Amino acid sequence: MTASRTETTMLPQPQVDLLPKEGVVAVEHGVDGHTVLTVEREHLLDVLKSLKETPGLDCNLLADICGVDYPERDARFDVVYHLGSLEHGHRFRVKVPVTEDDATVPSAYGLWKAADWFEREAYDMFGIRFDGHPNLKRILTHEAFHGHALRKDYDPSQRWLLTEENLMTPKWSTGEQKNDDHLDTQVLNLGPSHPATHGTLRTVARLDGEYITEAECEIGYLHRCFEKMSETHGWEQVIPYTDRLNYCSSMINGVGYALTVENLLGVEVPPRAQVVRVILSEFSRIMDHAVCLGANLVDLGALTNFWYFFQIREEIYGLLESCAGGRLTVSYARIGGLAHDVPLDFEEHVRSLLARIPKFIDDVDKLVTTNKIFRDRTEDVGTISGEEALAWGWTGPCLRASGIPYDVRKAYPYSGYEQYDFDVPVASTGDTYARYLVRMEEMRQSLRIIEQAIDNLPPGPVITDDHHVALPPKEKVYTEMESLIWHFKLIFDGIKVPAGEAYGFTEGANGELGYYIVSDGTGHPYRIKVRPPCFAIYQAFPHMLEGSLVPDAIAILGSLNIIAGELDR
Amino acid sequence: MNQYIPILIFTLIAISFPIITLLLAKLVRSGSPNAVKAEPYECGVKMPTTAYDTRFSIRYYLIAVLFVVFDVETIFLFPWAVMFDKLALFGFIEMVVFLAILLVGYIYAWRRGALEWA
Amino acid sequence: MWADAIVTLIKLAVVIGVLLTTVPIMVWVERRGSALIQDRLGPNRVGPWGLLQPVVDAVKLITKENLIPDGVDHFLYILAPFIALAVALSTFIVVPFGQGDGLTLFGSKIHGFIVAPDLNIGILYIFALAAFGVYSIVIAGWSSNNKYSLLGGIRSSSQMISYELAMTISVVGVLMASSSFRLDQVVMAQTGTWLGFIPKWNVFPQIIGAITFMVAAFAETNRLPFDLPEAEAELVAGYHTEYSSMKFASFFMAEYINLVTSSALIVLLFFGGWTLPGLTIPHGWAGAILSLVIFAAKVAFFLWFFVWIRWTLPRFRFDQLMALGWKVMIPLAVVNFLWVGVAMALGIL
């Protein structure tokens, strides 16, 4: 039985004597392998600073910041930080309780730039203020919104209408231009409805000729209240919502969610289910990269490659459809395994895909990789250094294109990834071309993983036999009394996840996809916070734009693969 | 003069063709105009400023000036080229001298960065 | 006299008819061709192999609602597509499309398959009108009250004037070799062979000129990889973003007519027009029809070449395009005609 990350020992642990002492109220070990520090607000910045800068701790990745609302507590809100060290592998969860009247914490923006949008989101959703934040305003909801939507006492039936008058227009865009050297500049909206913003993304840019001198992004056009809705749904019912996060690779999202809940439940997933999850996740990754690269190339005027890649996507959809019934939104993962077993011709189908897909990748490779026009368009465009990228909280292919080989599948293997022989492609230049190369290679590596997985697809059940979590098979329900009772109980009560919290993270197509889940022991999640990899990546985008041309902005945006569904949730 | 008559006729046809098609389209098309539909917008949101109220970059102007300078020069090449076989070597040397002068201006423009976009 | 007029009118009708039917054919070729390249089916529902698709497109465009946004400059807004189409149509008048010497129709001499046979300014006329075409794009961009259109319009004007220089200079070598502005004489100068097997086409001695001319032709017709004025992903649709119905269709038709003219020019200037090596085209109607077929085939090849390139290459960035035009194309074009001059002076050519 391969170990998934349900065992806490799977995450490396920090040296205890190095941990900061002052202001730390409690140190615990989470079921998810995180070291959980509860910290007084006054000492928060010191604790974060020592976690980041103490040699041996070196938490260089700020994965996530979010709020949790406990209305019955005196200190009503927890502000939760998730930190990690790429060097040592250990992970921290730092919690700061604050009261409703004085819901203010110092901003971590000075330590990690990644805090920028995460803090804005916590402010938007909970009304927690971050002292010293450069631009603390609403992010997912709009300017005309009242109240803070993720507070437990927020009434979701209210409607706040956005009119043209209070549409976000950055102050700088209406005021004087900063730099007198420039000739007259003009302000241009790129999006929300622009051919190159695949999805509803909006960037307001000030142009000098075709050079962008200033830019700001507005997101939230596709905000669907995923986190709020999951608080009123059963644990299983959340899975279809996760499909809509990164809708280009919905399988990975479902698996990530299931893994986190399984971690809280302490449930083991049967080996067959693990292997199928890996196969379909890797196919989803190929699909996602294909869409990203295809769309990026369309923006550069190379439409043909888009169709080659979409052919890949189409054929993989065929496989997903035969397994799950759905194509875009598969809802195939279940807590404890999979919804049902794969079809009989699964292995054959996978092998035929393995034989066909490389052809399309090679075709694009030949058309584009050494093409002079393409290289001129992408080399030295949107360059970001590894340090800078990490400071912004980047993960996934975009970070690896800047030379940092962080891949959750290698660093924290789950679902048996440690058994597979694959490389983590890394590029050093950190430009748009590097991101293209990394994604191309990752598709090939994913094929390698699938090839090994399909060779070792074990027989057996695809869902756990723990009937607190999974329904017994139908034929048993019809024939055995005990199974009938299990069925009845589970349908009526739903899955009950023991009280606790866990941060589960997997390698999504864009990077570290994290789910921070708090359970209060009832049939509903108490709080689910998704850590979307796009969110961290996209917050650096306006800063990358300054000084580049409009066509560069399009090329950079395409290479970052911002998926609005995941960004806005 | 006679040879220009076909051009005149052709030009008249060429001019009348778009007029006819545009008028024809006007006759057959349907339409339900309303104020909201005709509102100008930019990528789905209201325009922060109108398109006319800013000047655009000086670089475009520079390109236009360069074009005027060099295009006038190339006009001289045309009659020379047609008469080339009659002018023979002398004509060729003359043109090389002319080009050399032109080259100075070209190199000057290049060195001064007039051909750079950045 | 009357016979002359009738002959001219017939030629006019043929040219206009051919040009206007080429547009739907090209639309079909473009759509089916791109589908072929991209591993798709393309339009295949209307008529056999989707052949009637362009007809349906035309009907759709003609019946579309005409939407004029607030704040446009009405006169200029309507003038722009008008100029585009009128100019595109007028260009073809000096283009010969077959060998028609010595033929008579109704007792009147045909003077070759060219509408204005005695016009001795030929190629100058084409360049003059091509330069005029820039106005339609600039005016469209300017009058639309849209920043994307405006950017497309000024981009386009810079692009087209830059590549016009390269285009005109690259033709100088051809003019030197043929000593005439008249395109039928340019073709005549290309008959025969060198060493018995290399056709005397300008493309062989003037390969640099041919390449610069072709690249400039791509840029002048705003086709990929030079389609920056309408670069979809960046500028939405560039100068014609705010155009709809028949006005949009006018731009569309003009683009394809320009494509035909450009292909015809490439064939006439560098690929020997209707000549084929080792083939002496006989006089009389049979020869005339043979020359028409050869010419049409060559033009068709270059039309396909335009389609082929469009669906293969990505797009330049604007500054790269300008640098290519000014720093590479113009010097290359000059080198081309200097080489022709030297070669002719030395008697090689």
Query: What would the pLDDT profile of C314-336 be if each residue is shown by its tens digit?
Result: 888 888 888 888 888 888 988 88
Topology of the domain comprising A234-465+499-568: Cytochrome-c3 Hydrogenase; chain B (1.10.645)
Question: Using CB atoms, which chains have 3+ pairs under 8 A with A?
Answer: B, C
Q: Where are the beta strands (DSSP E) in A85-201?
A: 91-98, 104-106, 129-131, 186-190
Tell me whether residues C322 and B115 touch, CB distance under 8 A.
yes
Consecutive H or E run containing C246: helix C245-270
Tell me whether residues A186 and B54 touch, CB distance under 8 A.
yes
Q: How far is C280 from chain B (nearest CA, A)?
A: 26
Indicate the domain borders of chain C. 69-345
Interface with chain A: mutation pick from B39, B43, B54, highest number of A CBs within 10 Å: B43
Whether C318 contacts chain A with CB within 8 A: yes
pLDDT of C13 over the 50 cut = yes
pLDDT value of residue C128: 82
Interface with chain C: mutation pick from B9, B82, B97, highest number of C CBs within 10 Å: B82
Tell me whether residues C314 and A551 touch, CB distance under 8 A.
no
Q: CA-CA distance, C112 to C229, in Å (whole number)?
A: 37
pLDDT value of residue A481: 87
Query: Domain A8-131 has what CATH class?
Result: alpha beta
pLDDT value of residue A20: 78
pLDDT band at A9; cut points 50, 70, 90: very low
Q: What does pTM read for this prediction?
A: 0.85
Interface with chain C: mutation pick from B43, B53, B78, highest number of C CBs within 10 Å: B78
pLDDT value of residue A165: 63
Chain C residues with CB under 8 Å of B24 CB are 62, 246
Of the candidate ranges A270-274, A290-294, C102-106, C162-166, the one whose mean pLDDT is the lowest = C102-106
Average pLDDT over residues A428-448: 91
Residues in chain C: 349
C193 vs A365, which has greater pLDDT? A365
Determine how β-strand A35-39 pairs with β-strand A91-98: parallel
pLDDT of C307 over the 70 cut = yes
* pLDDT over 70, % of chain C: 91
C-alpha triplet A299, C229, B49: angle, nearest 5° = 90
Please write the tens of the pLDDT for every residue from A494-516: 888 888 888 888 888 888 998 99
Query: What is the average pLDDT score of chain A?
Result: 85
Chain B residues with CB under 8 Å of C246 CB are 21-22, 24-26, 29
Q: Are A250 and A280 in contact (CB under 8 A)?
A: no
Q: How far is A81 from chain C (nearest CA, A)?
A: 38
Of the candidate ranges A468-482, C147-161, C226-240, the one whose mean pLDDT is the lowest = C226-240
pLDDT band at B16; cut points 50, 70, 90: confident
pLDDT band at A3; cut points 50, 70, 90: very low
pLDDT band at C103; cut points 50, 70, 90: low
Q: Are B43 and A193 in contact (CB under 8 A)?
A: yes
Q: CA-CA distance, A104 to A117, in Å (whole number)?
A: 16
pLDDT of B89 over the 80 cut = no
* pLDDT over 90, % of chain C: 1
C-alpha distances (whole Å) from A69 to each of A102, A116, A503, A528, C162 are 14, 21, 17, 11, 63
DSSP labels for B42-77? ETTEE-SS-STTS---HHHHHHHHHHHHHHHHHHHH
pLDDT value of residue A386: 87
* pLDDT over 70, % of chain B: 85
C227 vs C208, which has greater pLDDT? C208
Interface with chain B: mutation pick from A173, A183, A194, highest number of B CBs within 10 Å: A183
pLDDT band at B47; cut points 50, 70, 90: low
pLDDT value of residue C69: 80
Listed by number, the residues of chain A in 139-168 with a beta carbon closer than 8 Å to a beta carbon of chain B are: 164, 167
Q: How far is B36 from chain A (nearest CA, A)?
A: 13
C195 vs C40, which has greater pLDDT? C40
pLDDT value of residue A441: 92
pLDDT of C203 over the 50 cut = yes
Tell me whether residues B14 and C86 touch, CB distance under 8 A.
yes
Listed by number, the residues of chain A in 169-208 with a beta carbon closer than 8 Å to a beta carbon of chain B are: 169, 173-174, 183-194, 197, 202, 204, 208
Of C62, C169, C181, the CB nearest to B29: C62
Instruction: Report the 10 Å Cβ neighbour count for C2.
Output: 9
Q: Are A85 and A11 in contact (CB under 8 A)?
A: no
List beta partners, residue A83: A62, A92
Whether B25 contacts chain C with CB within 8 A: yes
Indicate the domain borders of chain A. 8-131, 166-218, 234-465+499-568
Structure tokens, B95: 């043109």
Question: Using CB atoms, which chains have 3+ pairs under 8 A with C?
Answer: A, B
- Sign of the dihedral defined by the CA atoms of residues B62, B65, B69, B70, in that order: positive
pLDDT band at A190; cut points 50, 70, 90: confident
Whether A205 contacts chain C with CB within 8 A: no
Query: Please, which residues have CB within 8 angstroms of residue A521's CB and are 6 or more apart in sequence?
Result: A496, A497, A498, A499
* Structural domains for chain B: 2-111 (1.20.58.1610)
Residue C21 DSSP SS3: helix
pLDDT of C271 over the 80 cut = yes
Whether A431 contacts chain C with CB within 8 A: no
pLDDT band at A177; cut points 50, 70, 90: low
pLDDT band at A282; cut points 50, 70, 90: very high
What ranges in A325-385 are assigned the alpha helix state H?
346-364, 372-378
Look up residue A496 and give its amino acid.
K
Q: CA-CA distance, A396 to C71, in Å (whole number)?
A: 46
pLDDT value of residue A285: 92
pLDDT value of residue A2: 38
